[in-house]
């Protein structure tokens, strides 16, 4: 728990903070679930806050220090803020921008008719913010808190603000994207103990203003670019949804088997090395090997036998096949025919070729008359590989001719593969392969399936599968 959370212990009967004139005054636009909580909590941090909404009922409620929504402690915090002259509310957004130096934007971004994002509310707010900026002559920071598609801050908000204000982002005003991670019901508690604080910004001055505002509750703000911050918000929620659906499918399978799904998942979550960890969470190539594809099929089969619908689990193999096809398509799109592969096994350090997804890529290319050479530090042309395929003969008999031809494609040294190729496909990430790839820059095109370098190389002849 951070110092402020400790100080207040979420107890509303505490001494009220004094107005701190060193802290920027903040306008909060949109007094719904996000905005009302921000208004209350920012005032608790000592900021003077002007709440703005087009809904006069909400404005009246906030101005009186009553909560427009059901949220633990919110009413008491708003009441404190109003009594302490830290919170006021208005429908006049232009005036609120003139009266403050930072504007937090939390208007709704509902789903549009075509399933995308309805920009109506942020565009209307942007016009009023622009009008406010036009009438003032000091630096102002706009903090986007709405969930919006990546690119919308810079391509929807900024042009509208610049057009109306006649000002220039970066010089006259700053804009940041600061995603909101609060959970309704524990929103106040989450504000004081956030899971993380992310500030996407394209200029340091604006970023510092926002980081300073959050410093009392989080002194470890994650700074990034605006587009990354916008995407983080979407990715977080899709991930939460994926977890809920996954757990529910496990429950649906366990119930008819009379297995307690909660006991299963209680054990599942105790594994923080592989299950709840960054492991397996970086975009890259398809999963493969002797376990994952087989077990995914087995669980989907089990559900089918039980006549249970498990669309998420069933979709995993489909999604994996799409990733294999994506890699194959990248090779085709290169327009070259001499293709070298660095890495054959599904991961480095093993000669296990069972269900290595790169074999599917090679198989398609062989059929299309591509000239293939391969190098895997753990496999040499003498390695006996034919016996491995009896294991999966029910799954991939279509690979047989390619597997039989594999020894002729194998080279005992990576440089030989580079010399005889126009395109190199990188499927394993080891220091040895990194060195080989670095030596190949400028000589061949590189298709990277494993993010072999942490920072994306800026060579035109380099491309990654998901970056
Ligand atoms: N609710 C959540 O838990 C949550 C969490 C994270 C992010 N978000 C995102 O935050 C944003 C706000 O969500 P919410 O749930 O608070 O929405 P909400 O619908 O509860 O509130 C939005 C408010 O904006 C007001 N508004 C609309 N146009 C306005 C304008 N031009 N000027 C002033 N006020 C205006 C509306 O009257 C409304 O009161 C959305 O983008 C949402 O996706 C919400």
Sign of the torsion angle spanned by Cα atoms 143, 145, 151, 152:
negative
- Rounded to the nearest angstrom, the distance between the alpha carbon of 92 and the centre of ligand 1 is 17
Does the pLDDT value for residue 14 go beyond 50? no
Mutate to test the pocket of ligand 1, among 34, 111, 184, 240 (most ligand atoms within 8 A of CB): 34
Which residues are catalytic, by number? 291
Q: Report the pLDDT value the prediction gives residue 271, as an integer from 0 to 100.
A: 98
- Rounded to the nearest angstrom, the distance between the alpha carbon of 64 and the centre of ligand 1 is 20
Percentage of the chain beyond pLDDT 90 is 87
What average pLDDT does the segment 148-168 reach? 98
Sort 140 into a burial class: Cβ within 10 Å, 0-12 / 13-18 / 19+: buried
Give the atom of ligand 1 at the shortest distance from the alpha carbon of 36: 16
Q: Whose CA is nearest to atom 43 of ligand 1?
A: 147
Q: Is 33 in the pocket of ligand 1 (CB under 6 A)?
A: yes
Q: How far apart are the C-alpha atoms of 374 and 413, rounded to whole Å?
A: 9
Percentage of the chain beyond pLDDT 70 is 93
Q: Is 169 in the pocket of ligand 1 (CB under 6 A)?
A: no
Using 50, 70 and 90 to split pLDDT, how confident is the model at 19?
A: low
- Rounded to the nearest angstrom, the distance between the alpha carbon of 220 and the centre of ligand 1 is 26
Give the atom of ligand 1 at the shortest distance from the alpha carbon of 33: 16
Domains located in the chain, CATH noted: 3-224 (3.40.50.720), 311-464 (3.40.50.720)
Each residue of 41-60: pLDDT tens digit? 999 999 999 999 999 999 99
Using 50, 70 and 90 to split pLDDT, how confident is the model at 389?
A: low
Each residue of 208-240: pLDDT tens digit? 999 999 999 999 999 999 999 999 999 999 999
Does the pLDDT value for residue 3 go beyond 50? no
What average pLDDT does the segment 281-292 reach? 95
Q: Whose CA is nearest to atom 25 of ligand 1?
A: 30
Give the atom of ligand 1 at the shortest distance from the alpha carbon of 55: 37
Each residue of 74-125: pLDDT tens digit? 999 999 999 999 999 999 999 999 999 999 999 999 999 999 999 999 999 9
Q: Report the pLDDT value the prediction gives residue 13, as an integer from 0 to 100.
A: 42
Q: Is 457 in the pocket of ligand 1 (CB under 6 A)?
A: no
Each residue of 249-263: pLDDT tens digit? 999 999 999 999 999
Angle between helix 33-44 and 56-64 (nearest 10): 20
Q: How far apart are the C-alpha atoms of 197 and 397, rounded to whole Å?
A: 50
Regarding beta strands 222-224 and 423-426, do their DSSP bridges make them parallel or antiparallel, or are they unpaired? unpaired
Mutate to test the pocket of ligand 1, among 33, 71, 196 (most ligand atoms within 8 A of CB): 33
Mutate to test the pocket of ligand 1, among 54, 67, 107 (most ligand atoms within 8 A of CB): 107
8 Å CB contact between 152 and 179: no
Does the pLDDT value for residue 198 go beyond 70? yes
Residue 162: in which H helix or E strand, if any? Answer: helix 158-165
Angle between helix 357-367 and 311-334 (nearest 10): 50
Query: What predicted TM-score, i.e. pTM, was given to this entire model?
Result: 0.91
What average pLDDT does the segment 434-439 reach? 96
Residue bearing tokens 């005054």: 25
Comparing 214-228, 337-351, 400-414, the range with the smallest average pLDDT is 400-414
- Rounded to the nearest angstrom, the distance between the alpha carbon of 34 and the centre of ligand 1 is 6
Does the pLDDT value for residue 7 go beyond 60? no
What average pLDDT does the segment 369-380 reach? 94
The gap from C-alpha 208 to its chain's centroid, in whole angstroms, comes to 23
Does the pLDDT value for residue 281 go beyond 60? yes
Each residue of 161-187: pLDDT tens digit? 999 999 999 999 999 999 999 999 999
Does the pLDDT value for residue 270 go beyond 70? yes
């Amino acid at each position: 728990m951070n110092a402020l959370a400790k100080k207040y212990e979420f107890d509303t009967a505490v001494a009220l903070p004094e107005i701190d004139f060193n802290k920027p005054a903040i306008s909060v636009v949109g007094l719904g679930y996000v905005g009302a909580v921000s208004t209350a909590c920012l005032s608790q941090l000592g900021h003077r806050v002007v709440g703005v909404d087009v809904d006069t009922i909400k404005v009246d409620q906030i101005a009186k220090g009553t909560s427009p929504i059901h949220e633990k402690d919110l009413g008491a915090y708003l009441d404190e803020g109003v009594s302490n002259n830290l919170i006021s509310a208005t429908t006049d957004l232009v005036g609120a921008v003139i009266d403050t130096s930072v504007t937090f934007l939390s208007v709704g971004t509902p789903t549009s008719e075509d399933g995308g994002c309805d920009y109506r509310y942020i565009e209307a707010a942007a016009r009023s913010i622009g009008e406010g900026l036009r009438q003032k002559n000091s630096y102002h920071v706009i903090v986007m808190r709405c969930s919006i598609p990546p690119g919308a801050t810079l391509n929807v908000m900024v042009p509208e603000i610049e057009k109306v204000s006649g000002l220039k982002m970066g010089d006259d005003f700053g804009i940041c994207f600061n995603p909101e991670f609060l959970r309704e019901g524990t929103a106040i508690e989450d504000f004081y103990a956030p899971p993380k604080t992310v500030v996407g910004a394209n200029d340091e001055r604006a970023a510092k203003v926002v980081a300073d505002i959050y410093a009392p509750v989080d002194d470890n703000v994650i700074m990034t670019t605006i587009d990354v911050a916008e995407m983080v918000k979407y990715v977080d929620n899709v991930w939460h949804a994926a977890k809920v659906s996954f757990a529910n499918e496990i429950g649906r399978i366990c119930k008819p088997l009379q297995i307690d799904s909660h006991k299963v998942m209680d054990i599942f979550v105790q594994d923080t090395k592989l299950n709840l960890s960054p492991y397996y969470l970086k975009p890259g190539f398809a999963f493969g090997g002797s376990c994952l594809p087989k077990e995914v099929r087995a669980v989907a089969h089990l559900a089918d036998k039980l006549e249970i619908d498990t669309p998420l689990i069933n979709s995993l193999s489909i999604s994996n096949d799409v990733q294999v096809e994506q890699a194959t398509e990248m090779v085709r799109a290169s327009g070259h025919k001499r293709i070298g592969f660095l890495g054959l096994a599904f991961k480095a350090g093993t000669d296990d070729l069972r269900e290595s997804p790169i074999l599917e890529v090679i198989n398609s290319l062989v059929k299309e008359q591509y000239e293939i050479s391969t190098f895997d530090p753990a496999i040499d042309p003498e390695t006996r590989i034919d016996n491995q395929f009896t294991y999966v003969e029910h799954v991939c008999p279509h690979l047989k001719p390619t597997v039989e031809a594999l020894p002729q494609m194998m080279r005992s040294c990576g440089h030989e593969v580079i010399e005889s190729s126009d395109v190199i496909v990188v499927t394993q990430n080891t220091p040895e392969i990194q060195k080989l790839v670095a030596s190949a820059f400028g000589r061949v095109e590189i298709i990277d399936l494993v993010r072999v370098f942490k920072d994306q190389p800026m060579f035109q002849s380099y491309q990654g599968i998901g970056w």
